[in-house]
Chain A
Amino acid sequence: MSHSGWETVIGLEVHVQLATKTKIFSGASTAFGAEANTQACAIDLAMPGTLPVLNKQAVHYAVMFGLAIDAEIGKESAFERKNYFYPDSPKGYQTTQLEKPIVGRGNVEITLADGRTKNVRIHHAHLEEDAGKSLHEGDFRHGVSGIDLNRAGTPLIEIVSEPDMSNAEEAIAFAKRLHSIVTSIGICDGEMSQGSMRFDVNVSVRPTGTTELGTRTETKNLNSYKFMEEAIAKEVERQIDLIEDGGIIKQETRLYNGDTKVARSMRSKEEANDYRYFPCPDLLPVIVSDETIAELRRNLPELPDARQARFIEQYGLSHYDAGVIGSDAAMAAFFEIAAEKSGNAKLTANWIMGELAARLNSQDLSISKSPVSAEQLGGLVARIADDSISGKMAKQVFEGMWAGEGSADEIIEARGLKQVSDSGALEQMVVDVLTANQAMVDDYISSDEAKRKKKLGGFMGKIMQASKGQANPQQVNQILAQKLNELL
């Protein structure tokens, strides 16, 4: 799908749910998945006379993000009311920041597949409250909708980028980098499937080589990289087709349904609300002192760049492996525990990026929800590294761990999977197989050099079968070659 003559301009607005225990303006819990409306207090319900009190932790998390992207910190930021009627917005306004955000201009560097790096400028990031959820399915049909206010008041930072990305790959690299940063500094759990990070994508196109920005559309609320990629591809194609057919792009807000793969217009610019922003009189300006900033800077957890460099240095990982493992805070933590246990960092990295990642992906699980713990995986890798089991046996052990059968050693023991490396026992095994298969031996002897090599595999299979896969294949290979040579 190439569109010669056109270039794409993309900017992102990213909503990041902050991992505070309580909401931004109330003491209600922010835990995900509770029964509807059990985590909404009088403040979240906007009961008359209730008042907001700002959650300090949310402010600190926002400042930490600012420090992580080397941004200006708003030492005096302010909350405003964004007014609109909707049932999932109980107060009738969203408390957010507009004129004075807590995080000013910053920068995020992204690395692309071909190794190139690119800087994406951050315009600002501000604190705000999440809305509740409207339920239009299940019990709620026939003209009745449900409202779940558990999410109402969950603290968010909205990160607004400059339109510095020129294709889906860059947009996704940027989104992943943000994910990596916010999870690394521990301000967000990063659970995309639970809506912890949501992306609004602003897309416009223009003739290649021109500098004026085209009219943009905003596709809201994408919560996976895959949907982002699809939505961008569809929107770019729609805009180019429309312009090439003589049409005009309207500034509008769009929705993309990742399940049906259908994109549609939600509202045009003309239909947009007049939000009547004004300073929230119930909240004082947020003052962040230099001391607080200094302390947060001092205690800022390791950032992805630093961690990747350390993984190369400390564990001898390749750039690529360090990039993959080091960019995801949960995966990095998992890796460090597993590597410590296994004593073989590279092999551990291979297992995490290979078998484990594949299984997690296939079941749509994040690594923090992995049924196989870091200690378990490290135990498994240790047994591969010390030749107790073969790679093939290791996969069986992994299956056992996934199924909850215990540690690698327990499964090896229970399933009798220990690799036989005793050379006396192996030699006997080889001799027994050769004796039992005289015809194959005769055939081997009468063949020429080239054919003999191919026929070795047949003996190997018989021997591994006889050992129930437990024979150390390298050793068997050696002994077999030696025994057959003696017969020539």
Chain B
Amino acid sequence: MHNLTIAELVTGLQSKEFSSVELTQHFLARIAKLDANYNALITVTADQALKAAAAADERLAAGNAPALCGVPILHKDIFCTNGVRTSCGSKMLDNFIPPYNATVVENFEQAGAVVLGKTNMDEFAMGSSNETSFYGPVKNPWASDSVPGGSSGGSAAAVAARLAPGATATDTGGSIRQPAALCGITGLKPTYGRVSRWGMIAFASSLDQGGPMARTAEDCALLLNCMASYDDKDSTCIDREVPDYSATLGDSIKGLKIGVPSEYFSEGLDPDTEKTVRTALAEYEAQGAELVEISLPNTGLSVPAYYVIAPAEASTNLTRFDGVRYGYRCEDPKDLNDLYTRTRAEGFGDEVKHRILIGTYCLSAGYYDAYYGKAQQVRQLIQQDFEKAFEQVDVIMGPTTPSPAFKFGSKGDDPVAMYLEDIYTVATNLAGLPGMSVPCGMVDNKPVGLQIIGNYFDEARMLNIAHQYQQATKWHSLAPEGIA
């Protein structure tokens, strides 16, 4: 049952081939048996899941149930879940139980989806390897000595290991696409403003965006149909009709103009990864698409700009974690200052502290213009690069990451080496554009991701393009050893 796609599960549930309770029990059993190998989940919500499954079965029996009714999923532990601990991968929130649901969580609940648990992640979504989680690193199902990517490493690994058919995730600088690539699954970061941020714990508010992870583009379309909504509780959410992302999956891609940025195929890209991605591009050509060489000249500035803007926003977003109202509080504070400093020194991990310090520095009097101000200018240049590119082409394609999954600890001492992992992904966040990663081959028995970048609100087109590729290839259906 765990090898079925969400689309197949929907058919099975609606035609009563199996019940949601059976499905839920099956996945809960897999999690109980296998997750010790991956550490993909922080919290398993077995009792709630079985109750929700029973309720879903009643709705299914009554007829007219929504598509996702009874389908088991996982939520990244960054989405607030009413009554269920929401840790954000941090000791700071290890004891935090929100009294409200994130809008994304609410949307899935309304649709009758069954939540099996909450997935592991880099602390406050800050990381590209899942090594910064307070709950320990997640292991890549394809190679247990390698990282699953981050920050949504738990969601990616869980989907790759068939612990759930789909999961929610978030992407601030590549946190959906990079782990999707490294774990051999499909992930989509929508246009900024497409998915509500209400109840999604903020890392960098102007960059954060929730999105789906699943094994196929078709499944991502089903998840996004539910996940995307206009929400008046999020002022940056855009009031725009949500199309049926499933409806256009079968459209032809003949004549599609694919931009191939030279900057995404330059120094730093692993040659085997490049070969794999070029083979995928050739497949598109074979399907009648046209490859157009383009330039995104400011790509090189995207990582430095990102590592000013994201920490700057994070440094103030994380000020609220002060031990006063919720979350971790140090023992026996002597005075207010002691409460603040020890709570934050003990509650945050090193990477989070590192970024708070960078962000605080960048916003300080005398440094603001040189760092934050300059980074905002770069952000505009990057946006303009994409605007120009989209005058010529329909989508942009390239690698999601410079190389396949790296080994634990291999970038531990050098934060900049880790930050370069995001070199192909951060620009889309800075521009607010949608981006996707689709499995497109294997290097050393590890998956490689093809990145698809679309124009604003072009998610339906991107899913269609990815789906057409997956109709012709098998990379998305490969399973890590011992899984199938």
Contacts and interface: CB of A to CB of B under 8 A. Distances in A.
Interface stretch (A79-87, A332-340, A471-479): A79-87
A394 interface: no
A278 B320 contact: no
Given A47-B98, A276-B364, A54 B235 contact: yes
A85 B336 CA distance: 10
A401 B337 CA distance: 55
Scoring A50, A51, A92 by chain B CB atoms within 10 A of each residue's CB, the highest score goes to A51
B234 A92 contact: no
Given A48-B88, A51-B234, A53-B233, A83 B199 contact: no
A347 to B, nearest CB: 54
Nearest to B102: A49
Nearest to A283: B235
Give the interface centre of A53, A54, A147, A283 by most chain B CB atoms within 10 Å. A53
B235 A83 contact: no
Interface in B40-95: 79-80, 86, 88, 93
Contact of A92 (B201, B204, B320, B364): B320
B199 A49 contact: yes
Contact of B205 (A54, A85, A143, A281): A281
Contacts of B99: 42, 47
A81 B86 CA distance: 26
B205 A53 contact: no
A91 interface: yes
B197 interface: yes
A66 interface: no
A85 B98 contact: no
Nearest to A274: B365
Interface string A44-60: 01111111111000000
Given A48-B88, A49-B199, A81 B316 contact: yes
B233 to A, nearest CB: 6
B232 A53 contact: yes
Interface stretch (B243-251, B288-296, B322-330, B460-468): B322-330
A87 B197 CA distance: 26
B18 interface: no
Contacts of B206: 281
Contact of B198 (A45, A49, A91): A49
A45 B327 CA distance: 13
A90 interface: yes
B265 interface: no
A51 B235 contact: yes
B481 to A, nearest CB: 38
Interface in B151-200: 197-200
A358 interface: no
A48 B205 contact: no
A51 B198 contact: yes
B107 interface: no
Interface in A266-290: 274, 276-278, 281-284
Interface string B449-480: 00000000000000000000000000000000
B187 to A, nearest CB: 21
Contacts of B364: 274, 276
Contacts of A50: 100, 198-199
Query: B79, B93, B312, B324 — which one has the most chain A CB atoms within 10 A of its CB?
Result: B324
A92 B80 contact: no
A145 B316 CA distance: 24
A483 B316 CA distance: 91
- Most chain A CB within a 10 A radius of its CB, from B88, B96, B236, B335: B236
Contacts of B321: 48
B3 interface: no
A47 B363 contact: no
B372 interface: yes
Nearest to B361: A276
Interface string B353-372: 00000001001110010001
B236 A278 contact: no
Interface size class of chain B, counting residues whose CB lies under 8 Å from the partner chain: 35 or more
Contacts of B96: 48
A93 interface: yes
Contact of A278 (B201, B233, B368): B368
Most buried by B among A81, A276, A284: A276
Interface in B305-354: 312-313, 315-316, 319-322, 324-327, 335-336, 340
B86 A276 contact: no
Secondary structure class of chain A's binding surface, majority of residues: loop
B205 A282 contact: yes
Contacts of B198: 49-51
Contacts of A278: 312, 316, 363, 368, 372
Given A48-B80, A49-B198, A93-B316, A276 B234 contact: no
B320 A48 contact: yes
Contacts of A47: 98-100, 325-326
Interface string B116-144: 00000000000000000000000000000
Contacts of A51: 197-198, 233-235
Given A93-B319, A281-B313, A49 B363 contact: no
Given A49-B202, A282-B235, A87 B336 contact: yes
Nearest to B206: A281
Interface in B214-263: 232-236
A129 to B, nearest CB: 14
A138 B74 CA distance: 48
A53 B324 contact: no
B259 to A, nearest CB: 29
Nearest to A40: B325
Nearest to A42: B100
Contact of B322 (A53, A92, A143, A274): A92
A85 B93 contact: no
A49 B203 CA distance: 10
B39 to A, nearest CB: 23
Contact of A48 (B98, B236, B368): B98
B323 to A, nearest CB: 10
Given A46-B325, A49-B202, A50-B199, A284 B368 contact: no
A276 B316 contact: yes
Interface in A124-177: 143, 145, 147
Contacts of B232: 53
A284 B313 contact: no
A92 B364 CA distance: 16
Nearest to A276: B363
16 contacts: A45-B325, A48-B80, A48-B202, A48-B326, A49-B100, A51-B197, A51-B233, A51-B234, A54-B235, A83-B316, A83-B319, A87-B336, A147-B324, A274-B364, A276-B363, A277-B363
4 nearest CB pairs, A to B = A92-B319, A281-B205, A276-B363, A281-B206
Given A49-B98, A281-B206, 12 more contacts: A48-B327, A49-B80, A49-B86, A49-B201, A49-B202, A50-B100, A50-B198, A53-B235, A83-B363, A85-B322, A85-B340, A284-B235
Interface of A: 42, 45-54, 81, 83, 85, 87, 90-93, 143, 145, 147, 274, 276-278, 281-284
